[in-house]
Structure formats: structure tokens, C-alpha cells
Chains A and B, each alone.
Chain A
Amino acid sequence: MQRQPPVIAIDNLTKTYDGRAGQVVALSNVSLEISPGEFISLIGPSGCGKSTLMRLIGDLTQPSTGSITIKGKTPTRARQDRDYGIVFQAPVLYDWRTVQRNVELPLEIMGQGRSERGRRSAEMLKLVGLSEFDQAYPRQLSGGMQQRVAIARALVFAPSILLMDEPFGALDELTRERMQGELLDIWARTNATVIFVTHSIPEAVFLSDRVVVMSPRPGRIEAIIPIDLPRPRDTLTREDPHFFALATEVRERLRHS
């Protein structure tokens, strides 16, 4: 992969919490550079700090020491510039808004006009395949559909960085695989850099350009495994022996962590 200036540069990052039993080190000496348009997965067992790392990048929490630079800016500046689209494990849709108005929420907050909002949300709903459901309410949709709405909402203002915290964690296996394929399609049509938190090995391997394996107590980076599977990837990719080899490599690194 050719080296471009990183979109995200993480330098010697440490994050500690004041827990009940004294200080808890959530992340220790984490350094990582991420290129524009890269798809990065953070994988590791519970307590390895992968979600914390994602939240630090997204300026949802502050580092104890070390620094994060986003396109040459601080994370706070990047957040104020609306560089981040975030998808959580729960869809976090507003029950009182229709699907369309949920997707338009960020645009409303950013002060976009009604017609522009309508155009952009229609475009995004088409991208995630929910055009006919624009007037439905979240509770009328299945879990997979709700998460698609959340993805549409995260991308509607064309953020350059997409942060995803186990977005498919609550879905059944089949829906999950389908959503992974769709996410890659959507990602291919945007120029977004993706940080994807997961604890599923096949998910990380299928989606990513690089898999960052993390280990707990204290949370740190164990290994960074490049995934050189050709794109576009599809169901056949999952049956490729090289896919299994890479998954095995990730699994080994996780076990040694």
C-alpha cells in the first residue's frame, strides 16, 4: 500500500480511569497511523480497550497522555468540523421520528434546509436499500433494518471518518454477513476511512485492510495484520483458503495476547 500522509495519527496514547479498586489502565502506549480511505478493524477480548480507543479517536473521551491527530487537527476540532460519523452497537434511533427524519437529524443540527435534507436522506436510504420505509417508525423495523438506518444517518453528512462500535454485534449470523457485504458496497462508494470495533474474527478479516489485534490488562496493540484479500470481496471470499489462513493468523495472535 502506498504511503500517504495519515488521516489519523495516534502517538503513544495512554488512558487511565479512576476505578473503585484504584487506577485502571484502559490503554497503554498505543501508536497507530491510518491512511485515508483505509478500513481498519480493532479486535480483541473484552477489556482490551478497543471501544475506548475508538471513543478517543472520536473525541467522546479524553486521553490521559499521548496525542491523536486527525487530518492535522485535534479530535475536538475534527468533531466540531463534523469529520466523524458514528455507529454504535445499538442503533440509537429516535422512536418519535420516522426513518427519514432520523436520517435527517444530523443535517437538521447542522442547519441544512428542508429540501437539501430531503434530497440527501432519500439518497442515503436508497444506498442502504430502505427507500420504501422512509415513513416507517423505528419500532416497525427489524434489528438489521434499524442498523441500516443508523448507517445511513452516520453517512448522510459525508463525514471523512466512520467510527463503528460493534455495529452488527446484536444481529444474527446470516443478517450479520449480509450487512458486512452491504457495508463494503457502501464504503466503496464513499471515500470514508473506517474504524471498525469487533470481536468477531471472520468479520474483521472479511472487512478490513488491516486488523489491529489488541490485548487486555493493560489494553495495548498486540499485532497489526494486513489483509491482502482482493476487493471487491463477496461470499466467495469467505471460502477462500487465504481467508482461513488470515483468520487463523488473527486467532493465533489473539490467543497469545
Chain B
Amino acid sequence: MSDDLILQGHDAPVISRRVQPMLRDSRIFAVIVLIVVIIVLWEGAKLLFHLPDRKLPHIGSILGEFASRTQGGSGPFWGVLMLNNAAATLGEALTGFILGGILGCLLAVVFTASPLLERGLLPYVVGSQLVPILAVAPMVVIGMGHLGAPDWLSKAIIAAYLTFFPVTIGMSRGLRAVPRDALPLMRSYAASGLQIFWKLRLPASLPYLFTALKISATASIIGSIIGELPVGAARGIGVVVVNAAQYYNSRPQNLWAAVLVASLLGLCFYGAVVLAERLIVGPQAQA
């Protein structure tokens, strides 16, 4: 019992440790190359097809927008204003993400425990996602407003509405994705249903849960932005987008800047989920 011990036991982790710094360098390099390519294509297209600023502003003027002042030069910087609004959106999205995540997991647990309930309820869960969110959003905002709920909560609920669905589907799959013969094994230990859930089903489902959460992270940002679109919302990147759209002809770079902020917001949220996955699931289960 010696050769297979040596061969596969230790080599793999050592190699990956050696390769890692190189990999990181090449990734940074790739990012820089990509950014350069985008700039060249963007400005090249503008030059080649004589695109006016109204159709495609210079990248420089979009970035410069963050450093210019609002209210015709007397207000705070656009960059600060947009970050403030982005923070509001992020707060709503995060609340919705957590609410939707909890709801999604609960539904998945119920579905796994009772196939009958799953067959009964799943069509409504799917149906809920087929209703145009643009139609639902004003109903929620106005309805919640009548109930006296704070402004941010109604947006969080719209974000939750988009978040829970991928989690329900992903987690339902994950809770059933136990290794073959793992259930008979647990049965041979006379494990209780709760023990099977905590020690087998839940950990086995985590990779599926995180895949779903990655989709949900971006969906929750979209959800809260859509919640900010109906008239009357005070803060959020959605409000900035609506305002910028109104002044697009005179100041196109403003809308582009707002869109850039919204994308970066989604990207950061997604990155946070990836990071959490690395910490919780760990590299051993991802290979």
C-alpha cells in the first residue's frame, strides 16, 4: 500500500500552489488587455463611423462626468452623487437578496420534503416569474406605500421577487444531489431525518445554492433598480438613470456614467458571492 499513497496524495496541492502566482499575473494582464481592446474598439468605431456624442460619447467624457459638478457647476460632484445613490440601491438589493434567499431556501426544503406540495406549488412559483416585473413593480411600490412601509422596503421586496426563484430551483436540485448510496449509508447508521438534512443534504446542496445565488445577486440589483423607476422614488441608481435619460440629448455622457455605475454595482455583488463561495464551500469541493 505504498505507490498509490505517494502518487496522488500530495502532488496535486503542491502544483496548484506553485502555479497560483503566475496565474494571478496572467489574469491581471488579461484584464488590462481587454480594457485596452474595448477603448480601441470604442474610440475607433466613433472615429470610423463619425458617431456623434449623442450616439456614443468619448470614454474620456464619460469618466470625466464623475469629476464634474451637478447643478451647472455649483452642486456636489456627480461621482459622489452617483455613489450615494448606488449605495441606496445596494442596500435595497442586499435586503431583497437576503429575503429572497431565505424564501427560496424555505420553498426548496418544503418541496424536497413533500413532492405533493412541489407539484401543487411549483406552477405558481414559475408563473410568478412570467408576470412582467415592470407591471408588478408599481403595484408593490404603491401598495406598500399605502401600508406605510418605508420606501426602501418596497424596492427590497421587488428585488426579493426576482431573487427567490433561482434559489428555489437551484436549492431544490441541490438538496437532491446526494451522492449515490449516501442515503442507504445514512440509513445504516439509523440517522434521523434531521441528521440526514444537516449532515448530508444541506452540505451537498451548497455548490448548487451558490450557483443560484450568483444569478440572484445580479437579479436583485435589477429588481431594485426597476423598483426605483416609478415616479416618486427619491434615491437610487434607478432614479439617476431616469433623470439622465431625460437630459440625454444635452448630456449623453451622464446616462452612460450612470449605467457604468449600475454595472459595476452588479459586478461587485457578484464578486462578493463568489468570495463567499470560496470561503464556505472551499476549494476541495469545487474541483
Contacts and interface: CB of A to CB of B under 8 A. Distances in A.
Given A79-B188, A109-B199, A92 B180 contact: yes
A120 B211 CA distance: 37
A59 B186 CA distance: 12
B9 interface: yes
A142 B9 contact: yes
A108 B7 CA distance: 31
Interface string B180-207: 1110111111110001000110011010
A137 interface: yes
Interface in B199-234: 199-200, 203-204, 206
Nearest to A97: B203
Given A109-B191, A109-B199, A92 B281 contact: no
B281 A140 contact: no
A139 B284 contact: yes
A203 to B, nearest CB: 17
A72 interface: no
A60 B287 CA distance: 32
Contacts of A133: 5, 9
Contacts of A110: 189
Interface in B1-47: 1, 4-5, 7-10, 12-13
Contact of A105 (B181, B199, B204): B199
Most buried by B among A95, A129, A148: A95
A175 to B, nearest CB: 6
Contact of B189 (A82, A141, A144): A82
Interface stretch (A27-35, A83-91, A193-201): A83-91
A136 B282 CA distance: 13
Contacts of B8: 140-142, 145
Interface of B: 1, 4-5, 7-10, 12-13, 179-182, 184-191, 195, 199-200, 203-204, 206, 281-282, 284-285, 287
Given A92-B179, A106-B189, 16 more contacts: A58-B188, A59-B188, A88-B181, A88-B184, A90-B179, A92-B180, A92-B182, A105-B189, A109-B190, A133-B5, A138-B284, A141-B9, A142-B4, A142-B7, A144-B1, A145-B5
State the 7 A-B residue pairs at the shortest beta-carbon distance, nearest first: A137-B284, A142-B4, A142-B8, A88-B181, A95-B285, A109-B189, A86-B188
